């Protein structure tokens, strides 16, 4: 199975971002099983106010999803994309990831549930948190999960999807630059893959605000493809059978004492 991650810097308009995506794909002749775009794929919201983003936002039947669906049909690939989706709470929007099958049909959508309100940034000023984790879907021969960027810091999101059969979790990201931020990105992504025995595919924006360093990580935590810096397509070949092999060698999900873990502490503590 082949996975292609698009690493680029989104513009301040959907038209600019669309041209960048088209240029990257024109220079890439592959027909992978999955094409994945980073978080904020159609618009870099840095420094923009909520009303501006509301005007740019769309619904799941808008022009951006139609553009992603056309990529899926043309390439014969499943597409993982992202967008700002209009919510019932204007002017704040949802930060949404979508999963599109080879025929161009949206078969899953996930609204980011944990918002980046740390390190001087307040995503909740422009974004409404979703209320449901993503239920993994069958797509292009794999059982696929979704999470978004900052949520790498919440292992429960990945564990819940692994327990529901996810083999690959795609994590569109726009990881802001800063001291040790690239290090934390790599450590968190590898940890989520190791502790759940999953492939993790991480398309990351690159540019003045964002780190790049897109990755595909195997169930043992090995980085099998990495984008480094710059705009590019990062391709990896994965064997889904490796998920079962790793889980047989290290059956972490089976060994977990779920009653204890889910109920908390018992007895007295000193």
Residues annotated catalytic, as ranges: 39, 112, 149
User: Is residue 149 within 8 Å of 175, Cβ to Cβ?
Assistant: yes
Q: Name every residue whose Cβ is closer than 8 Å to that of residue 5 and which is 6 or more positions away in sequence.
A: 36, 201, 202, 203, 214, 216, 225, 227, 233, 234, 235, 236
Cα dihedral sign for 239, 241, 245, 250?
A: positive
Cα dihedral sign for 19, 24, 25, 29?
A: positive
Query: 211 pairs with which residues across the strands?
Result: 206
Query: 80 pairs with which residues across the strands?
Result: 36, 99
Pairing of strands 137-139, 106-111: unpaired
Q: What's the rounded Cα separation, in Å, for the pair 198 and 160?
A: 12
Token pair 């948190």 is at which residue? 129
Q: What's the rounded Cα separation, in Å, for the pair 26 and 79?
A: 16
Q: What's the rounded Cα separation, in Å, for the pair 237 and 213?
A: 18
């Amino acid at each position: 199975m082949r996975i292609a991650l698009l690493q680029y810097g989104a513009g301040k308009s959907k038209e600019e971002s669309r041209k960048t995506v088209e240029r990257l794909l024109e220079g890439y002749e592959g027909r992978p099983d999955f094409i994945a775009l980073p978080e904020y794929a159609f618009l870099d919201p840095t420094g923009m106010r909520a009303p501006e983003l509301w005007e740019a936002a769309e619904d799941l039947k808008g022009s951006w999803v139609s553009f992603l669906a056309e990529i899926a049909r043309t390439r014969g690939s499943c597409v993982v994309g992202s967008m700002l989706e209009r919510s019932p709470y204007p002017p704040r929007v949802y930060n949404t990831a979508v999963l599109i099958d080879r025929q161009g049909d949206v078969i899953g959508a996930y609204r980011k549930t944990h918002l980046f309100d740390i390190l001087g940034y307040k995503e909740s000023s422009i974004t409404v948190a979703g209320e449901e984790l993503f239920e993994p879907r069958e797509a292009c021969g794999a059982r696929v999960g979704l999470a978004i960027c900052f949520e790498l810091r919440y292992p429960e999101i990945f564990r819940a999807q692994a327990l529901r059969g996810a083999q690959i979790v795609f994590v569109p990201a726009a990881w802001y630059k800063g001291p040790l931020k690239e290090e934390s990105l790599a450590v968190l992504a590898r940890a989520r893959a190791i502790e759940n025995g999953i492939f993790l595919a991480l398309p990351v924006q690159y540019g003045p605000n964002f780190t790049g360093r897109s990755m595909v990580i195997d169930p043992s935590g090995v980085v099998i493809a990495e984008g480094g810096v710059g705009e590019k397509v990062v391709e990896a070949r994965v064997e889904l059978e490796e998920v079962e092999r790793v889980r047989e060698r290290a059956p972490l999900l089976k060994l977990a004492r779920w009653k204890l873990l889910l109920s908390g502490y018992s007895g007295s503590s000193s």
